[in-house]
Structure formats: structure tokens, C-alpha cells
Structure 1
Amino acid sequence: MTRRRRGLSEEERTLWATVARTAVPLRPDDAVEPEAPPAPPEIDAAMLASVPPAETTGAPAARAKPSVPPLSPIERRVLSRVARGTLGIDGRIDLHGMTQHDAHLALRAFLVSAQLRGAKTVLVITGKGFRESRGEPHLAHANLHAAHFGEQERGVLRRRVPQWLAEPGLRDIVLGFDEAHRSHGGGGALYVRLRRRREPVR
């Protein structure tokens, strides 16, 4: 549907006639040609290489992961004092006969609990394994476990426990560890030194 044009009123015609009389026509010589915009410079590879990379905005900067505390060997004088009994053992756990899964869980729970109660040195008993046992009682005990867990479980905890203690997930708890004195099990046990528990920041 087309809209009908409205005609000018008498007042509008008078106003338009007044403006037309005062207007000065533009002469062709006075006309100014608009300047053409300058051509953009050609972009070559060298110019692109000189442009610094754009900074990304909006994405939060990735937070640096906190460094994992390193393990420290137990000092000789500390080992000597523990072996002589002048430095007490604050707790012990016997992993003998456990499967790897159960031993791993039990070890972690024990270390967390020991640190919470302020323990500094604990004893972790792994056992020497069937092949390194000596004496009839040890052989009978080892044969019983060998029959239950199979040949592959013989001495596995002795190899695995040091690996677990060195895991990054336990570095906030474990300061260091070393083989125990023969009075505490020798090659079948480990002294573990614990870090002081950090108080939460409020």
C-alpha cells in the first residue's frame, strides 16, 4: 500500500521561497573535488614478521603449579640414634602379607595419621620376601604367603614401598627414608622421616 504525499502548506511555501531567494548558486569553478583516500601500503612478509604477537585478553593466566618438595636423605647421626634407641620411633606399620593395593592404601593412611599427630620418625615393615628369609619359622611363614599370593608377590612390597614413598603425592608428608638397622628388621623395614605439618593459611 503506497502512502499519499502530503502537499506543502501555505506557511511552508513562504518559508521555502525566502530560503531560495537568499541562496547563492555554486559556480562550477568553485567546486572542490574531494581528495581520493591514499592507497594502503603493500604488506610484505618482512612487515608481518615485525609485528609483535597480539596479547590474548579475557583468558586468565595459568597459575604455576607449586613445586614438589624434594626428598632428603636421613642424616647418619639420626640413623645412629634411632638404631641405638636414643631417638624414639613414633609409630610403626607392618605391611607383611598384604596385597599391593591394600598395602598402598594402608601405608598412605598410616603416614597421614602419623603426621597429624606430630610423629617425626616411623618404621615401615615390608618383609624381606621368601627368597631372602632365613630360619624355619620364617620359611614356614613365607611359604604360607607364597602359596596364597603366588610367586610374583614374593618380596614385591620390599621393592614397591620405596617407590610409593617417593611419589609426588606423598612429598608433603615424607621428608626422607632409609633402610632400617638390623635390630628393627634390616632390609625388610624402612625408617621414614616425616615433615612437620603445615598449618592452613587463614
Structure 2
Amino acid sequence: MPSWLALGDSYTIGEAVAAHQRWPAVLAQRLRQAGTPIDEPQIVAITGWTTDELAQGMDAALLAPPYDLVTLQIGVNNQYRGRPADDYRNEFTSLLARAITLAGARAARVVVVSIPDWGVTRFAREQGRDRRLIATELDSYNAIASDASSRADVRFVDITGISRQHPELLADDGLHPSAAQYALWAAAIEPSVHAALRA
């Protein structure tokens, strides 16, 4: 059965939703229903992780490469904490290189997922956050991730637009996506994952 390593933060672990509602679990089910076998994803992700913290988490995790699929979605907490974009560029590029290595040096088996825009959430509104600034900074982070993915011949999936189109699809915390939004993400990511597994 093809193996899958999902690397990330709260969005990958599915903060505030049930385990079967997080997008990797939903996507795994969609793949199976489409006739593509896949093992349950091994998730290395914790709410609040930045790029450097994910790297440390990977160091501590019991990994078993090569994986047939590696997904990577990270960076929102770098932006949330006000870290420089240049730091994100360097750390993300390093994580992407590690992801490729974990996929058996097969860049075609790696899929990067963009950072959603938390500035559109009820949490941001109630906290009086500068929603335009958040959007601008996240666009910059996502451009960095997209460029690094392109340079490495890795697939990049933009789910940021979904988060902006459906600001009402939130979990009870008013910040993280609801199960319904994660389902939309899974549908958007699925074609790239199918292509990766065929590579």
C-alpha cells in the first residue's frame, strides 16, 4: 500500500475538527473511493509549529522513508509571529529538500499546499487584526513557497482562494477551518496527489 507522510501545522493535524475530518484523512478516503489505494497518512504536525519547529519535529519523529507521497503545508505561524519572509524562504527551502529526500529523492512525489488566509476569519475580525496586511504577508509567503516548489519541480496547490471564498466555513474556535472547508481543500488537492502517485 502506498505510504504518505503529511508535514505541517494546525491545518494538517486538523485543529478543532475530528481526526477523520482533517484534510489528509478526507483526501485518503477520496483516493480510495477513486480506486487509488493509499495507507493512512503519517502526520508530523502540531498546532502552532513554525518552519523551524517542524524541522525539529521531523528530527524527533520515527520516520520510515522512502514515502510514496509527501505533502508539506507550513508557514502560517511564521507570519503570525511576525518573522521575516527571508527566514521563511531559507527554512521552507530546507524543509522542501528534506521532503524530497523522504520521498526517495523523487520530487514528483511531493505536493506543497499553500497557506490559507486566516485574516478573513471571525477570530481576526474580533481581535481587530489588520486583515489587509495579513493577506499581503501571506501572499508573499505563498509566492515564496510556490517559487521554491517550481524550482524543485514539486507540485504546488493553492487553497488560499478557498479560504477567502468561504470565510464562514470555520470550526467553533472561529479561526481554523471547519470540516466542510477541509473537504473543499481535499477536493482541490486530489488531482495533484493523483498525478504525484502516478509519477
Both structures adopt the same fold (TM-score exceeding 0.5): no
If the length of structure 2 is used for normalisation, what is the TM-score?
0.26
Q: Which has the larger radius of gyration?
A: 1
If the length of structure 1 is used for normalisation, what is the TM-score?
0.26
If each structure's helix is expressed as a fraction of its own residues, which one has the higher value? 2
